[in-house]
């Protein structure tokens, strides 16, 4: 099909090094699927202090225990989410050469990614394509791709949602108040929107990941997924599969919140497994700071050394380029 990236051709030429056992994708049909802790955000504005406190407590507990949770009554209406999925389908159905040629001057790698061009083995290859767009470029991006303003509306609303949740988590950390440390650092223009598409993967390559195991480079990530399923995460040292709930949004803690909270909140490894039948879509919003921001744990003794976001990004790019894989926070352990 004219819209498919040449995943098969590139994958076939990669050596088949052994995937470490703990990274080997597990067939969803053989796994018990868990529902992530479900938090009803409607209680934040209910006017009842007790309900609000209860809701905040659930968010904080899930961020500590799971690093992942899902939210309903999040304020983003169903129509926007449905329209967003239609726009996403239109975007990925463009001919491959058109997608691959989106190379704006402010992005050295372009917005469009597929597979993993830095992969030196099949273990690092992701059976997917994605548009990784800085929020500051969303408006131009969607007009040049003839998409509706829904993409921007979603980005604005999801940004408000991340601020609300970040405030609750930060204010629980005592001296690290959101207003003092984050409010003017995490600005919409430093955040990213990532639209993912996972094409069906031939049965003979079923050990390939849709997106290889990673933690997110973000403070918080908000994920909107369809009802196909395929997301897995590490819970108590084992992979578990996540039951999709298309009316909920998945929120997860990223590396920057883990470092800032000195390990109180967990940036948990996750991945996407492939399936042989249907394509899958998801959209991730990453809340991120300006590059000059210094990530400094606010309690002592600190697990990670201080680092600027610029330095963090540079290290990741270096690791991905030289090893095909993201290393992330372990690089910054004291
Ligand atoms: C090849 C890769 C790109 C990626 C790091 C990875 O090894 C696998 C995960 C990718 C991901 C997904 C979430 C974020 O968008 C990202 C910046 C991250 O931290 O992990 C990307 C990485 C990337 O695009 O460089
Ligand atoms: O598609 C998914 O469910 C997860 C996507 C993801 O982890 C990411 O974009 O970082
Ligand atoms: Fe992720």
Q: What is the pLDDT of residues 104-152, one digit of tens each?
A: 655 656 799 999 989 989 999 999 999 999 999 999 999 999 999 999 9
Mean of the per-residue pLDDT values of the chain: 93
pLDDT digits (tens, 9 = 90+) for 294-330: 999 988 899 999 999 999 999 999 999 999 999 999 9
Distance 89 CA to ligand 1 centre (A): 22
Any residues with Cβ below 6 Å from ligand 1, and which? Answer: 116, 132, 194, 212, 214, 216-217, 320, 325-326
pLDDT of residue 272: 97
The ligand minimizing its distance to the Cα of 325 is 1
pLDDT-derived band at 31 (thresholds 50, 70, 90) equals confident
Among 68, 196, 215, residue to substitute to test ligand 2 (most atoms within 8 Å of Cβ): 196
Distance 127 CA to ligand 2 centre (A): 12
Active site residues: 280
How is residue 209 written in tokens?
């990941």
pLDDT of residue 252: 98
Peptide bond before 301: cis, by omega within 30 degrees of 0? yes
CA distance 145 to 84: 14
The ligand minimizing its distance to the Cα of 126 is 1
Ligand 2 pocket, 284 CB below 6 A? yes
Region label for 131, one of left (φ > 0), alpha (ψ between -120 and 50) or beta (otherwise):
beta
Distance 228 CA to ligand 1 centre (A): 21
Q: Which residues contact 43 (CB under 8 A, 6 or more apart)?
A: 51, 52, 54, 55
The residue whose CA has the least distance to atom 3 of ligand 2 is 231
User: Is the ipTM reported for this complex over the cut 0.90?
Assistant: yes
Q: Which atom of ligand 2 is nearest to the CA of 250?
A: 3
CA distance 194 to 225: 12
CA distance 116 to 59: 34
């Amino acid at each position: 099909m004219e819209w498919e990236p040449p995943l098969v051709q590139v994958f076939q030429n990669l050596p088949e090094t052994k995937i470490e056992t703990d990274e080997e994708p597990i067939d969803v049909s053989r796994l018990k699927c868990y529902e992530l802790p479900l938090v009803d955000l409607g209680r934040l504005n209910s006017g009842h202090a007790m309900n609000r406190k209860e809701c905040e407590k659930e968010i904080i507990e899930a961020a500590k225990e799971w690093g992942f949770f899902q939210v309903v009554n999040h304020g983003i209406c169903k129509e926007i989410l449905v329209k967003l999925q239609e726009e996403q389908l239109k975007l990925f159905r463009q001919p491959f050469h058109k997608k691959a040629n989106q190379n704006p001057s402010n992005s050295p790698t372009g917005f469009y990614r597929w597979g993993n061009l830095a992969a030196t083995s099949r273990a690092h290859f992701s059976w997917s394509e994605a548009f990784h767009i800085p929020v500051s470029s969303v408006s131009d991006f969607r007009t040049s791709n003839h998409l509706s303003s829904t993409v921007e509306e979603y980005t604005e609303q999801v940004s408000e949602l991340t601020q609300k949740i970040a405030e609750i988590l930060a204010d629980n950390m005592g001296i690290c108040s959101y207003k003092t440390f984050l409010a003017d650092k995490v600005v919409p223009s430093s955040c990213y929107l990532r639209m993912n598409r996972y094409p069906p993967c031939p049965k003979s390559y079923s050990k390939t990941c849709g997106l290889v195991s990673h933690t997110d480079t973000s403070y918080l990530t908000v994920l909107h997924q369809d009802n196909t399923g395929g997301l897995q995460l590490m819970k108590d040292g084992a992979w578990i599969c996540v039951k999709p709930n298309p009316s909920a949004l998945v929120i997860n803690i990223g590396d920057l919140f883990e470092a800032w909270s000195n390990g109180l909140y967990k940036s948990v490894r996750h991945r996407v497994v492939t399936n042989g039948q249907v394509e899958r879509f998801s959209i991730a919003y990453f809340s991120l700071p300006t590059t000059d921001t210094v990530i400094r744990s606010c309690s002592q003794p600190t697990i990670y050394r201080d680092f600027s976001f610029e330095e963090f990004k540079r290290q990741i790019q270096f690791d991905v380029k030289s090893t095909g894989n993201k290393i992330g926070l372990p690089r910054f352990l004291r």
